[in-house]
Structure 1
C-alpha cells in the first residue's frame, strides 16, 4: 500500500519548472526564481534554429539582458507575463547598445525568418514607473533600455503582444527588412508627478519593407516614428493617445539620411501633441513620397507640422534636407489651439509637391483655425492664412 501511494505521489509531481526540450520544441515554464532569463536564453540556444519555442502561461521575471541574433526558421509562442525587474543600476550598466543616438535595449532579436506570437495573452511589463521617477522628466537617460529591438532581422512576423509600463521606447526596428507587426497594445502611463517622456511606440531606422496594422498606443512621445534611412513602410489602423501620433523623423542629425515611400492610413489621435507631421534637423538628405490618409483626431496641439530645425529651432534655412511629394488626404479633427498647420520649409531646400485634399480642422474651443505656411509650393491645395515664422515650435502653449 505504501509503495502504491508513493508511486501515485511521484506521478502527480509536475514537470520541473524552467526549460524542457522535446525534439525541436523548447518549452519554458516559470521557475519561481528571481530570474527566468537564463531558461529563455537556453530555449533560444537549443531551439532558435529550425525549431519552436513555447513560453507558457504564468509569471516570468527577467533580470538580465537577452540578446539573440542568430534565429533561423523559428516560431516563438508567448502566453505568459514577462516582467523586467527594476534594478536600474544593472540595466544602465548592461543594456545592449543599438548605435542610434546612444540608445540601448534590454531585449534584442535578429536573424532570418522567425515569428513571435503572443495570442493576445503575452504581456511585457517593464516596471517603467521606477524609470519615470528616476528620470524626472529627462529625455535620454544613459542606459535606459528599449523594451524590444529587432536588429538585423529579416522576414519577421510579430502579433498579439501587450506592453505595460515600458522602461523606454516600446519597439525599435534597425537594420531590418520585411517585418510585419500586428495587433499590438502599448501603454506607458505615469502615476507620479514625473511624466513618462520618450516612451515611443515604434521607431524604425535603416530598415525597409515594414507593415504595421491594428495597434493601440498610449505613450509619452511619438506613437509611430519613421527615422533615417527607412523606406517602404505601411501603417494602417492605429489609435494613439497622449502621443505624437504619425511622425517622419527626426532625421538628418550629423548624417545624410532619407525616408522614402511611407503610407499612414486610418489613424486616430486623441489628446496628442501632433497628428501627421515631419521633423528634421538642418542637415542633408530627403523625405519623399509620404502619404497621411484618413486621419481623425481630437484635441491635438498642432495637427499638421513641418520643421527643418527640430529641437534647437535655429539655423532652419541652412537645411538641405529636401521634403517633397507629401500628401495629406481626408484629415479631420479638432486642434487644441487656433493653429491647424504650422509648415516651415527651409529656404535652402523649399518643400515641393506638397498636396492637401479634404482637410477639415477646427479649434476645439471654436473660431477659425490658422494655416501658416512658408517656403512651400503654392499649388498644394491648402489655403494658407499667413506665413509660418522660422523656428516655429512643435508645441504651442496657447493661441497664435
Structure 2
C-alpha cells in the first residue's frame, strides 16, 4: 500500500508538458493543460525549424519561459491555438531577452532565413498585460518588461493572421532584419483599471529594411506604427489605429553621438480614431536624417494634434541645436477632425531647417468648430501649407486645449 501511494505521489509530481510529435519534417504541438508548454514548442523549433513545418494546434497553451529561436531556415509555422504568457512578473523581469534598443527586451525572439508564421485568423497571443499595466502605474519603460514578439536578424519572413490581446509591452519589434511582410494582424491593448496601457506600440522597426505592413487593426497606448533609426524602404497600407500615436517616424537621435537615418517610408490609406497624433515625426537633438517620407490618404477623427514635427521630443530643450535633418516629406490627402484648434505644429531645428516639405489636400477641422491653426517654424516656404503662425520649439506633442 505504501509503495502504491509513493508511486501515486511520484506520478503527480511529474510536470505535465505539451505533447510534441514529429512525423517526417512536421512537428505538431498539442496543449498539455499544464503549467508550461514552452519546452514542447522549443523542441518543435529544434527538430523542425530547418527545412520543416511546425504546427501548434488549436487549444490553450501556457508560456512560462522565454523562447529564443535564431536559426530558423526554410520553415513554415502554423499556429491555431491561444498562447498565454503567464503573469510571473519577476520571472520575466529577470529573464526576458535583451534586444539592445533603449534597454528593451522580449519574451519571444525569432530569427533566421526564409520562414513564415501563419495564424489563419485563429492564433491568439495573450500577454496577461493587465498585470503589467497595473504594476507599472502609467510608467512605460520598466527594464525587463518584455515585448511580445521580436524578429531579430530575420530575413525573408511572412507573418499573417494573428491576434494579440493585452500584450505585456510593445506587440512586435523588427530589428536587424530584411524583407519582412506582416499582414492581417489584429492588436489590442486595453486596460480595465485606472492605469493606462503606456508604451504598448503596435510595431517598431529599427536597423531594418524592406518591410511591408498591410491590413492591421491596432488599439494601443502609444505609437501604432513607429519607424525608428536606420529603417529603410518601409511600406504601410490599410491600417486602422485607435487610441494611439498612429503613423510615426521616431523617436530618433538618441544618443546624439550615434547618427540615425530613416529613408523611403510610405504610409497610405490610414485611419486614426481618438489618437494623439496622425502623421508625425519626432526626434531628439541628434544627428542623421529623415528623408523621402510620404503620408498619403490619412483620415482621422478626434486626434489631438494630427501633423506634428519636433526636433527635441520629451525634453523640449536644445530644439534648435539638432542636426538631424528632415527633408522631402509629403503629406497628401490628410483629412479629419482635430481635438483642438491646432491642425499642425511643425518646429524644425534652426541648425538644420526642414527642406522639401510638401502639403496637398489638407482638410483638417477642429471638432468643436472654429478655424484650424497651422503653426510652422524653420521650414521651406514653398511647402503648399498656409501657415497661420510660428511654432515654438517647446510646442508639446499633446495639447490640453486650444492655443
Query: Structure 1, residues 135-189: CA drift from partner, whole Å, max 9, x if none?
Result: 0000201110000000000000000000000000000000000000000000000
1:73 aligns with 2:51: no
Mapped pair 1:272 → 2:275? yes
Question: Counterparts of 1:247 and 1:390 in 2: how far apart (Å)?
Answer: 19
Q: Does 1:360 align with 2:363?
A: yes
Deviations 1:316-353 (A, max 9, x none): 01100000000000000000000000000000000000
Per the TM alignment, residue 17 of structure 1 is displaced from its structure 2 partner at its CA by: 5.0
Q: 1:379 to 1:109 in 2, by over 3 A?
A: same
Deviations 1:346-378 (A, max 9, x none): 000000000000000000000001000000000
Where does 1:206-225 land on structure 2 (aligned, <5 Å)? 206-225=207-226
- Aligned mates of 1:168, 1:63 — CA distance in 2: 16
**What is residue 42 of structure 1 aligned with on the other side?**
43
Query: 1:192 & 1:142 partners in 2: Cα distance?
Result: 22
> Equivalent residue of 2:312, what SS?
coil
Task: For 1:259 and 1:375, locate their aligned partners in 2 and report how far apart those are by CA, in whole Å.
Answer: 20
| Count of residue pairs the alignment pairs up | 385
Shift of 1:390: 1.3
Secondary structure at the counterpart of residue 93 of structure 1? helix
Contact 2:18 2:40 in 1 (8 A): no
Q: Does the CA contact (< 8 Å) of 2:335 and 2:362 recur in 1? A: yes
Q: Please, which of 294, 302, 306 is the counterpart of residue 291 of structure 1?
A: 294
Aligned runs of 1:271-350 on 2, under 5 Å? 271-350=274-353
SS of 1:330's equivalent in the other structure is: strand
Q: Which of these residues, 379, 386, 391, is aligned with residue 383 of structure 1?
A: 386
Aligned: 1:256 with 2:279: no
Q: How far apart are residue 119 of structure 1 and its match? A: 0.1
Please tell me whether the aligned partners of residues 172 and 204 of structure 2 are also in contact (alpha carbons under 8 angstroms): yes
Q: Could you list the per-position Cα deviations for residues 231-281 of structure 1 after superposition, in whole angstroms to 9, with x for gaps in the alignment?
A: 000000000000000000001111201000000000000000000000000
Equivalent position of 1:110 in the other structure: 111
Shift, 1:18, TM fit: 1.0
1:175 aligned partner:
176
Distance 1:302 1:344 in 2: 13
Partners of 1:389 and 1:266 lie apart in 2 by 31
Residue 388 of structure 1 deviates from its aligned partner by: 0.3
Shift of 1:391: 1.6
How far does the alpha carbon of each residue in 1:279-331 deviate from its partner, in whole angstroms, 9 at most, with x for none? 00000000000000001000000000000000100000110000000000000
Where 1:250 maps in the other structure, the secondary structure is strand
Q: TM-score, normalised by structure 1?
A: 0.96
1:122 is aligned to 123
Residue in 1 aligned with 2:10? Answer: none
Distance between the aligned counterparts of 1:395 and 1:22, measured in 2? Answer: 55
Question: Aligned pair in 2 of structure 1 residues 17, 392: CA closer, same or farther (>3 Å)?
Answer: closer
Quote the Cα distance in structure 2 between the aligned partners of 1:273 and 1:381: 24
* Correspondence list, 1:8-19, <5 A: 17-19=18-20
Aligned-partner Cα distance in 2 for 1:391–1:302: 14
Is 1:95 paired with 2:96? yes
CA distance in 2, matches of 1:307, 1:258: 16
What stretches of structure 2 of length at least 5 have no aligned partner? 1-16
Dislocated runs of 4+, deviation >2 Å: none
Cα offset, 1:49, TM superposition: 0.2
Tell me the C-alpha RMSD between the 2 structures. Answer: 0.6
